[in-house]
Structure 1
Amino acid sequence: MTDRILTTHAGSLPRTPELTRLLVARDQRRAFDQDELAEVTASAVADTVRRQLETGLDIVNDGEVPRVGFSTYVLERIDGFGGAGHRKPTLDSIKFPEYAAFQAKQIVEGADVARVWDPPVAQGLLEYDPALAGITEDLDGFDRELAAQAGRGLAPAGTFFSAATPGIVSTTLLLDAANPHYGDDRAYVFALADQLKLEYDAIVARGHTLQLDAPDLAMERVIQFGDATLEEFLAAVDLHVDALNHAIRDIPREKVRLHVCWGNWQGPHQDDVPVDVLLPHLYRANVGAFSIPLGNPAHQHEAPSFRAHPLPEGAVLIPGVVDVTTNYLEHPQVIANRILEVVDAVGDPTRVIAGTDCGLSTFASYEFVATDVAWAKLGALVEGAAIASRRAFGA
């Protein structure tokens, strides 16, 4: 029990240009210096953990800075992928061609950009690295820096560590139709669940809350399922929730939080599926907290949905109250107002943790908010939560 509203964020934080260059080179299978990558990564993790604590965030992570992307990092850990796929364009890009042209000017696909829209596909039998080398290295780096900061008298109220869900991997790294091992999406997504379970268990064994990144449960309505019916999309949502439940079957639900979003690009988002349609399906997940964006113009109005669809017993809501697609810096009072609207809908301030809509750097080279503004937003989040706490708890 707490007497104030805690703060956290959705996972990814800004990387340095040096780290981005090295991660993208590795992702593109170009030459890079492994020792330099290790050194730059360690420095970035140290800086990211320190800055979170100095900013005043309560529940922190490693910023996902060692990874090239929140979902495609699994290519470094799971064998069976190859070639190149082609993800569908968003409905935003299809329905707003001038917007699509505008966006294309912002990021030019090429050697200096992570593979987001044309990543490899599942061609063979999936097998997670039995040595768990990648996840162990990441966890070691995070734990080492937490210990270093504790030596300075800085300790978080809690920690979390992100991992991709079977569903987002299956809709990003598509199943090759010629794959002889998996005959359909169900077989593929459950195979991913079996492999990713190794990573999930390793995270929880270190004492961190597992954050499952599952934007597929909302975002893919306007990408992979853009030409499908709503019923077909919701059937896929249920399948993906079943798969993630299978993967976390040995983990207490209070040690898992689920992040769902509609994609963190700055666009129309007019075809996003409403949150009240999703909640009955999301609540089937055996998790203790739900991280859902409510800080952007397309979804801020949906906070009352949590009154109509109360949280599962004992569950916590982590509303996004900071927009991660714009360099506008929210005033702390605006953030406080958003938090208080959510508290009013949920009915209990102890079941609300203030967060961001999504990550601030979901893929290396795909940052849309400047680094200094990103950190200023997190500072405003802390201030806004303090204002809301005084109102909500009468302090």
Structure 2
Amino acid sequence: MELPLFPTTVVGSWPRSNEVLHGLRDKKAGRIDENEFNKIADKAVIDCLRLQEEAGLDIVSDGELRRDNFISFVADKLENVKMLTVAELLDYVEDKASFEEILGTLDVPAFSLSNPAAVGKIDRKTSIALDDCRFLRRHTDRPIKAALPGPYLLTRSMWVEGLSQESYPTKEALADDIVRVLREELIDLIQAGVEFVQFDEPVLTELVFTNKNANRTFMCGALTAKADREEELEFATTLINRVMEGMRGKGTRIGIHICRGNWSTQEDVLLRGPYSPLMPYLSRMNADQFILEYATPRAGELKDISILDGKELGLGVVNPRTEGLESIDSIVERGKEAAKLLSPEKIFLNPDCGFGTFAQRPMNTPETAANKLKVMVQAAEILRQQL
């Protein structure tokens, strides 16, 4: 995959149209089948793709428009996984009052979000992202990015005490099958020639930035109680490396996306803190690129990336949760700052996170999202000329 300096791409999700939202609801209610829904989604994906192409992106995605959200959609793709609303999952939380307080404090609508829970032995019943990539390939000649939930995110989300224990006594037992399933999907994506596979692991920041109610908290659907911070980070690092083993260097770039949550436009309720506590673990993760948010002050200083020497950086330069457009000059300056810490050949430009993380609760409008991408592409062109 030949790319220019400072390649531009998206993190994944795009705001769903009203037609797609109605289609998702109708499919869930059984009023339409998968084929009927895909007719609706196909058109929306092509519309999303054209906006990315018109903006000038170097690497495009399907906007995750067929997904209810970036993780719960796996309930349709895996055997013995049930999609439950966060409100339904409250039945399995010991301290319901405390948990509901967390949801309220963090601006989380319990009845609009959903989470996949393992209720038996899991296996793939269909591809997780391959079919979507094949459709996208038929409509573009640009490199494609596919996003998958990471193994730690899936383990923390899908192992629910009282639901999963009969098949998986511990979350570590579930993790073994999650690693296997993700490896199977990654092999298929590599063989299909998908140029970029991104694993989403936002819960890693929950491990280091959550203090109050630290034993059990909401972070993008991760409801499983966590152990000691260092123990969990070691566990996450091991899972990621098990998925990646033998997969790099086969023509597909593999990245790990780590943000601080993208469930609300209220920046003050989202997690904040520098990446520095995670960097020793990231440096040991066997990935080509780390996709990190740096368009928000909540992310700390850019100097923390210097430890990633030899790895690529997906530099977040536009905030998907704000209405205002970032200036071209500010993005150029951010790119130059990163280029003092890493080789320019190692730096990609992207939004901090997706523009439509949850189907029912997009972070922005398609119009604003498209304009932010255009500004980002213009900044990349200036950086290529100057550096």
TM range (shorter): 0.7 to 0.9
Alpha-carbon distance in 2 for matches of 1:76, 1:175: 18
Partner of 1:360: 355
Q: Does 1:247 align with 2:243?
A: yes
Change in 2 beyond 3 A, CA 1:170/1:221 = farther
TM-score with structure 1 setting the length: 0.82
Instruction: State the partner residue of 2:302.
Output: 303
Q: Structure 1: any 5+ residue segments left out of the alignment?
A: 147-154
8 Å CA contact 1:163–1:200 kept in 2: the answer is: no
Question: Where do 1:45-56 residues align within 5 Å?
Answer: 45-56=45-56
Q: 1:176 aligned to 2:129? A: no
Deviation at 1:389, TM superposition (A): 2.5
Q: Residues 15 and 355 of structure 2 are in contact (CA less than 8 Å); yes or no, is this contact kept in structure 1?
A: yes
Identical columns (%): 22
- The residue aligned with 2:57 is 57
**How far 1:276 sits from its partner (Å)?**
0.9
In terms of mean alpha carbon deviation, does 242-251 or 160-169 score higher?
A: 242-251
Question: Which 4+ residue blocks in structure 1 deviate beyond 4 angstroms?
Answer: 91-97, 220-226, 228-231
How far apart are residue 56 of structure 1 and its match? 0.4
For 1:274 and 1:374, locate their aligned partners in 2 and report how far apart those are by CA, in whole Å: 26
Over residues 346-384 of structure 1, what are the superposed CA-to-partner deviations in whole Å (9 max), with x where a residue is unaligned?
A: 2x2111011110111112111021121011111111112
Please say if residues 274 and 298 of structure 2, whose CA atoms lie closer than 8 Å, have aligned partners that are also in contact. Answer: no
Q: CA distance change for structure 1 residues 29 and 176 in 2, over 3 Å: closer, same or farther?
A: farther
**Contact 1:92–1:267 (Cα < 8 Å) also in 2:** no
Give me the TM-score of the superposition, normalised by structure 2: 0.84
Look up the SS of the partner of 2:63 in the other structure: coil
Q: Is contact 2:60-2:144 (8 Å) kept? A: yes
Question: Which residues of 2 match residues 22-101 of structure 1 at below 5 A?
Answer: 22-26=23-27, 28-82=28-82, 84-86=88-90, 100=106
Q: Tell whether the 8 Å contact from 1:165 to 1:193 is kept in structure 2 after alignment.
A: no
- 2:193 pairs with 1:189: no
Give 2:137's match in structure 1, choosing from 122, 140, 143.
Answer: 143
Whether the 8 Å contact between 1:121 and 1:176 is mirrored in structure 2 is no
- Cα distance between partner residues in 2 of 1:345 and 1:13: 31
TM alignment of 1:89-238, pairs within 5 A: 100=106, 103=107, 110=111, 113=112, 115-116=113-114, 119-129=115-125, 132-133=126-127, 135-146=129-140, 155-156=141-142, 158-177=143-162, 179-208=165-194, 209-219=196-206, 221=208, 226-228=213-215, 232-238=228-234
Once residues 73 and 303 of structure 2 are traced to their aligned partners in structure 1, the CA distance between those partners, rounded to angstroms, is: 35
User: What is the aligned residue count?
Assistant: 363
SS in 1 for 2:356: coil
Spell out, residue by residue over 1:15-73, the C-alpha distance to the aligned partner (whole angstroms, 9 max, x if none).
211112222443x5453354431111111121122221121001112111121211111
Q: Could you tell me how far apart the structure 2 residues matched to 1:380 and 1:267 are?
A: 22
Q: Structure 2 counterpart of 1:330, which letter?
A: E
Q: Distance in 2 between matches of 1:187 and 1:370?
A: 41
Q: Give the CA deviation at 1:2.
A: 6.0
C-alpha displacement of 1:343: 1.4
- Supply the RMSD in Å over aligned alpha carbons: 3.0
Q: Name the aligned partner's letter for residue 293 of structure 2.
A: P
AA in 1 matched with 2:313? L
The SS at the match of 2:139 is helix
CA distance in 2, matches of 1:383, 1:286: 32
Alignment partner of 1:382 out of 357, 377, 386: 377
Aligned partner of 1:317 among 313, 316, 336: 313
Change in Cα spacing, 1:177 to 1:289, as seen in structure 2 (3 Å) is: same
Distance 1:310 1:33, change over 3 A: closer
Per the alignment, in what secondary structure is the counterpart of residue 137 of structure 2?
A: helix
